[in-house]
């Protein structure tokens, strides 16, 4: 028995097993956790968190970190709704996403070409994006879309294709594309290589600076997409939309098994981490744990998961 337990590759299967165990426990506590409706809603949340986490994963893989994701999300939420006022639902959404990509571009240029450490650049951007968006809105939520725009927008965030929520469909497609991008293209391999050894990557002829700029654009753009789906569902531009999501983004990536020291991890890990966090959060809600205690518990789980990964890598 003990021998079979030891034979399991915990690195690979530990977290999925914990995930299944968690779902069983929460179902026992409150059977409505496992209801179809709750599962679909939670998967919708998970799909959104997955997009943000996979953006963070790119930054972490290249041995960086993106602390500005939360603020960029708030900015995009506001920018999307106000562009929809001008351009209509479809074009307006794209313009909103471009605002997010612009923040990523600025991050990337500052980090790659001016040599400012990622943690400081993105910490600065956290406040620049937040401040800019609050100045523009004065802290007020943007509403009052026309009926046509609202219907079009809401479908993207809150609609269903058959039994599957629209954001989940988008996330799966984007996730597959990102998986291919990381594992199947030169760009993806370069990201891993830079994260493992930036100097060596430069010497073998990788255009390190260009790759890093792209990484931060991707990170911001994926966070923006996550924000867009939330905004679409609310059909409101909410200036504090992204506040709680930064820790979940980094936590989800690390929980899944992406290393903060660069070069190790990937999209599968991002998906796994995002799902564990979202289902844990939902399970705690269903078990009637107060929202503030939930924050503390999730923070603790993230630290514990990191500890486990450190201990694992030592043995």
Partner 1 sequence: MNSEDSTIQLQQSASGSANWGLYWERYGVFAVFIILLILISVFVPSFLSLNNFLNVLHTMAFVLFVTYGQTLVILSGGMDLSHGSLVSLTCMATAALVALGHPWLGLIAGLGTGALCGLVNGAIIGITRLNPIITTLGMLYIAGGLALYFTDGKSIVGIDSDKVQSFHFLAEGEVFHVPFVVILAFILFLLTHFLLRHTRFGNHLYALGGNEVSAEISGINFVRMKIIIFTLSGLSCGMAGSLLCARMLSGEPQVGAGTFLLESIGAVVVGGNDIFGGTGNVGRTVIGLMILHFLGNALNLMGISSFAQQVVVGVVVILFCYIGLTHNK
- E strands in 97-230: 160-161, 164-165
Whichever of 105 and 134 has its CB closer to partner 1, that residue is: 134
In the range 107-126, which residues lie near partner 1 by CB under 8 A?
110, 114-117, 119-121, 123-126
Distance CA 210, CA 92 (A): 28
Contact 63, 200 (CB under 8 A): no
- 86-95: which pairs have CB atoms within 8 A and are 24 or more residues apart? 88/149, 89/148, 89/149, 89/152, 89/153, 90/152, 92/149, 93/153, 93/156, 93/228, 93/232
CB of 293 to partner 1, least distance (A): 5
Whichever of 124 and 159 has its CB closer to partner 1, that residue is: 124
CB of 260 to partner 1, least distance (A): 5
Distance CA 228, CA 145 (A): 15
Distance CA 76, CA 96 (A): 6
Q: Which of 51, 130, 178, 191 binds partner 1 (CB under 8 A)?
A: 130
**Using rule CB under 8 A, residue 69 touches partner 1:** no
**Using rule CB under 8 A, residue 251 touches partner 1:** yes
Q: Which of 65, 212, 232, 280 binds partner 1 (CB under 8 A)?
A: 65
Distance CA 297, CA 149 (A): 39
CB of 35 to partner 1, least distance (A): 27
Contact 175, 271 (CB under 8 A): yes
CB of 291 to partner 1, least distance (A): 8
In the range 200-239, which residues lie near partner 1 by CB under 8 A?
none
**Using rule CB under 8 A, residue 295 touches partner 1:** yes
Residue 105 makes CB contacts below 8 A (sequence gap 6+) with 213, 216, 217, 220
Q: Which of 128, 164, 169, 285 binds partner 1 (CB under 8 A)?
A: 128
- The binding site for partner 1 (CB under 8 A) comprises 65, 110, 114-117, 119-121, 123-128, 130-132, 134-135, 138-139, 247, 250-251, 254, 260-261, 290, 292-300, 302-303, 306-307, 310-311
């Amino acid at each position: 028995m003990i021998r079979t337990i030891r034979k399991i590759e915990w690195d690979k299967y530990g977290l999925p097993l914990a995930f299944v165990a968690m779902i069983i426990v929460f179902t026992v506590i409150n059977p409505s956790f496992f209801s179809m409706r709750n599962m679909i809603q939670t998967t919708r949340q998970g799909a959104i968190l997955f997009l943000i986490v996979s953006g963070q994963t790119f930054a972490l893989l290249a041995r960086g970190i993106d602390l500005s994701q939360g603020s960029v999300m708030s900015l995009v939420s506001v920018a999307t709704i106000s562009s929809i006022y001008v351009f209509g639902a479809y074009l307006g959404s794209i313009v909103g996403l471009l605002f997010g990509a612009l923040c990523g571009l600025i991050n990337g240029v500052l980090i790659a070409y001016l040599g400012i450490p990622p943690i400081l650049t993105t910490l600065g951007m956290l406040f620049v994006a937040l401040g800019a968006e609050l100045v523009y809105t004065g802290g007020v939520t943007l509403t009052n879309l026309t009926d046509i725009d609202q219907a079009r927008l809401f479908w993207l965030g809150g609609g269903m294709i058959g039994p599957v929520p629209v954001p989940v469909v988008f996330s799966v497609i984007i996730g597959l594309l990102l998986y291919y991008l990381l594992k199947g293209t030169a760009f993806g391999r370069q990201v891993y290589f830079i994260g493992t050894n930036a100097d060596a990557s430069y010497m073998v002829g990788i255009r390190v600076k260009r790759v890093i700029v792209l990484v931060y654009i991707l990170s911001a753009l994926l966070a923006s997409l996550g924000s867009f789906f939330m905004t679409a569902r609310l059909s409101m531009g909410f200036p504090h939309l992204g506040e709680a999501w930064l820790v979940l983004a980094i936590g989800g990536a690390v929980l899944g098994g992406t290393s903060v020291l660069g070069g190790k991890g990937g999209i599968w890990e991002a998906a796994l981490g995002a799902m564990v966090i979202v289902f844990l959060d939902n399970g705690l809600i269903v078990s009637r744990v107060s929202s503030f205690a939930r924050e503390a518990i999730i923070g603790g789980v993230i630290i514990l998961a990191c500890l486990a990964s450190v201990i694992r890598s030592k043995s």
